[in-house]
Amino acid sequence: MTLAFAYVRASTKEEVRQSSNERQKDVIIQYAKSKGYELEFFEDRAKSGKNTQRPDFERMLKSLDAKPKVVIVAKIDRFARSLSDLLKTLEYLDQNSVGFVSVNDSGIDTTTPNGRLLLQILGAFAEFERNMINSRTKAGREQALNKGIKFGRPALKTRNGSFIDKRKVLELKEKGLSARAIAKMLECSTTPILKILRENR
Instruction: Determine the Cα–Cα distance for residues 104 and 169; give it in Å rounded to an integer.
Output: 64
Instruction: Determine the Cα–Cα distance for residues 68 and 62; give it in Å rounded to an integer.
Output: 12
Annotated catalytic residue within 11, 19, 34, 135:
19
Measure Cα distances from 118 to 36, 121, 124, 200 in Å. Answer: 25, 5, 10, 56
CA 18 from centre of chain: 26
Residue environment code for 163-173, b if the CB has 16+ CB neighbours within 10 A, otherwise e: ebebeebeebb
CB atoms within 10 A of CB 180: 12
19 is catalytic: yes
Residue 101 — φ and ψ, nearest 5°?
-135, 130
Q: What is the 3-state secondary structure (H, E, C) of 80-97?
A: CCCHHHHHHHHHHHHHCC
CB atoms within 10 A of CB 112: 13
Residues labelled catalytic: 19
